[in-house]
Structure 1
């Protein structure tokens, strides 16, 4: 009799576990398993790091967002040198604010033009599994140059449309003081770097109906974030000044280049510009 009761109890436990597992499988759509039936999602925030950054670069930022925002989920996409793609994470029907972190096997500075093309490949990949018409973008450091190169040279007519763009510590006029003034104001470059000239060449290809927030660090009021001169970041206005809205924000505290992503003011701005609109 005791054995029968034990068997019954084990059977009930097994059925309960099976039911939980089936519910989890039904409720979650895994990017690696369902390319034929894309899941509709709200406009994702696509985050791209700077030089040699990987898909984990924004982990602390995403963790901070999850503490105050509901239903934040993340997919991570890495594009390799041979155009192949690996990914992890998934969105669900309950995901309210999807985040897609995109990085590249070759994240070096010389590969910037390729990274813009690889970003387009990442968009195509994401659209195999998720349906979205617009997206917001956060580009840290060279991540801001990657989206600029994509908009100028790589965007396809059937790609989702960019809506909000935040660039954070982006060296539009390179990092050398040979091209940049040691000043807190920007009128025109001391000299146009080859990098800036490259992105000015096709600036008219950038859609005008976007909102751009250009965030710069001014560590210890030294007109630099200790990596990128302030006037280099502000040179972004030469590229995006024709946008529907263009706004510059200078962060003075905890404004070292490597700390900009974790900066409390930066986090507040990201929430305000990228998350408030979906509440």
Structure 2
């Protein structure tokens, strides 16, 4: 009798463990069903965070978008240091506004060139399950540098094409005042940082038929978002200024670097440039 009770308890535990496993892997199973027959989706908005940011960095932004936009679904992709992929979430045929958050196990500043290569790996992974020819991109902080490095050095001929690009507080000329003027206007850098020189080197490879919105924060008119000097962000015009459309926008309320994603004006601009444009 005692052995039967122990056997029953073990059976119950096994069922519980199996149930937890199925629940935890649900999104991955549903995604993998599409691997042999990728699901066509509208052009996704790909969001990439800054230094050491993870795939949850845009959660508050996505929640805000869901309050006003219909059919917003999100998948999250993390590229690990060994090129393997960790993912969650899925899209369906009812998804109208697909969002793909991409981050990297190593999100450190020295690994920026690797992150551009890993971004290409993430695109390939997404295309195993979903079909899309174009995408829009929101790059926060170093996220703007990652897409720049990808377009210059890592883009493959069969990759989906970038359409709209928003960079948000991206330090194109690094964050040091040694390279940047304490000014609200930009004509040329005080000095070119190694970072800017790196991205100027192959800018010819960036497609010209894209629309670029370069957004900067300016806290209390101090010409900085308290992390990135204003002129560093505006140095993006040296890279993207000859795009089909290039526009610079400065926000001043809730404009410190860490709050730029949650800034109400930023949210409105994202809706206008990345969502209303496809309605």
Q: TM-score, normalised by structure 2?
A: 0.89
Shift of 1:33: 3.3
- In structure 2, how many angstroms separate the alpha carbons of the residues matched to 1:119 and 1:254? 29
CA contact (8 A) 1:30 1:91 kept: no
What's the CA shift string for 1:93-145, capped at 9, x where partnerless? 00001000000000000000000000000000000000000000000000000
Number of the residue aligned with 2:258 = 258
What's the CA shift string for 1:162-212, capped at 9, x where partnerless? 000000000000000000000000010000000000000000000000000
Number of the residue aligned with 1:36 = 36
CA contact (8 A) 1:29 1:91 kept: no
CA contact (8 A) 1:169 1:257 kept: yes
Shift of 1:30: 2.4
Number of the residue aligned with 2:243 = 243
* Aligned 1:68-79 pairs, distance under 5 A: 68-79=68-79
What's the CA shift string for 1:199-229, capped at 9, x where partnerless? 0000000000000000000011100000000
1:108 paired with 2:108, answer yes
Shift of 1:278: 2.0
SS in 2 for 1:224: coil
Number of the residue aligned with 2:140 = 140
Number of the residue aligned with 1:97 = 97
Shift of 1:32: 3.2
Number of the residue aligned with 1:65 = 65
Shift of 1:277: 1.7
SS in 1 for 2:60: helix
Q: TM-score, normalised by structure 1?
A: 0.89
1:227 paired with 2:241, answer no
* Aligned 1:71-220 pairs, distance under 5 A: 71-220=71-220
- In structure 2, how many angstroms separate the alpha carbons of the residues matched to 1:214 and 1:220? 19
Shift of 1:231: 0.1
CA contact (8 A) 1:29 1:92 kept: no
Structure 2: gaps of 5 or more residues: 1-25
Number of the residue aligned with 1:13 = none
What's the CA shift string for 1:255-275, capped at 9, x where partnerless? 000000000000000000000
Number of the residue aligned with 1:21 = none
SS in 1 for 2:32: coil
Structure 1: gaps of 5 or more residues: 1-24
SS in 2 for 1:31: helix
What's the CA shift string for 1:63-94, capped at 9, x where partnerless? 00000000000000000000000100000100
Number of the residue aligned with 2:15 = none
Shift of 1:40: 0.1
Shift of 1:29: 8.5
CA contact (8 A) 2:182 2:229 kept: yes
- In structure 2, how many angstroms separate the alpha carbons of the residues matched to 1:57 and 1:149? 21
Post-superposition, which runs of at least 4 consecutive aligned residues in structure 1 deviate over 4 A?
none
- In structure 2, how many angstroms separate the alpha carbons of the residues matched to 1:249 and 1:190? 21
- In structure 2, how many angstroms separate the alpha carbons of the residues matched to 1:29 and 1:262? 32
CA contact (8 A) 2:34 2:130 kept: no
